Structure 1
């Protein structure tokens, strides 16, 4: 990773699972671990994307798992680039994490 980053740094957003917070972990100097506050699913991009995906599925019944898969694919296909960016916005996540870390 250091070869790819050159003189840059990598910010690694992670939860506070024991595997990541262990004192046995020695972070490389070019990696800055940014820990999520406990119980903060809104800071996890995939969870935010899943929330956007679940809205059109609300109160629907499917005759099969395949029918559900097809509907999910339709929803994904309808998402615009802007919608994906809005739920996965890196700036939003960083601002929320820095805010949480300061309180």
Structure 2
């Protein structure tokens, strides 16, 4: 987190995580320009990454991979082809944008 914060010191970063135990640590130091956002449990519909994964999985439908490495390459290729505009259109829900605007973030 420290390296990420230092790489983009002039920006505020909101990182949404699910409530998996692997996403929490008492030893993790969060910089002032990072906000960790934890949605309510069992609410994937409010997690933008879920819509992005749905978009990725559509492109993988009906393809049988011979190895995990083949799957990794396929997912990597899909991610490389996604434009920022497309990612924003899939993940930038109005309620998220409006909330950030109201919060002056």
TM-score w.r.t. structure 2 length?
A: 0.51
* Deviations 1:43-78 (CA, angstroms, capped at 9, x unpaired): 101111111111001111001100000000000011
In 2, distance between residues paired with 1:88 and 1:57?
A: 19
Counterpart secondary structure, 2:65: coil
Q: What CA RMSD, in Å, does the superposition of the two structures yield over aligned residues? A: 3.7
- Tell me which residue corresponds to 2:69: 66
In structure 2, list runs of 5 or more residues that go unmatched: 1-13, 20-36, 100-105
Larger RCO: 1 or 2 (CA < 8 Å, sep 6+): 1
In structure 1, list runs of 5 or more residues that go unmatched: 1-10, 17-33, 97-103
TM-score w.r.t. structure 1 length?
A: 0.52
| Matched residue count | 79
